Chain A
Amino acid sequence: GAVVSQHPSRVICKSGTSVKIECRSLDFQATTMFWYRQFPKKSLMLMATSNEGSKATYEQGVEKDKFLINHASLTLSTLTVTSAHPEDSSFYICSASVDSDYSGNTIYFGEGSWLTVV
Chain B
Amino acid sequence: QVQLQTSGPGLVKPSETLSLTCTVSGYYISSGYYWDWIRQPPGKGLEWIGTIQASGHTYSNPSLKSRVTISVDTSKNQFSLRLNSVTAADTAVYYCARGPSADYWDQGTLVIVSS
Do these two chains interact?
no
A: which residues have CB within 8 A of B? none
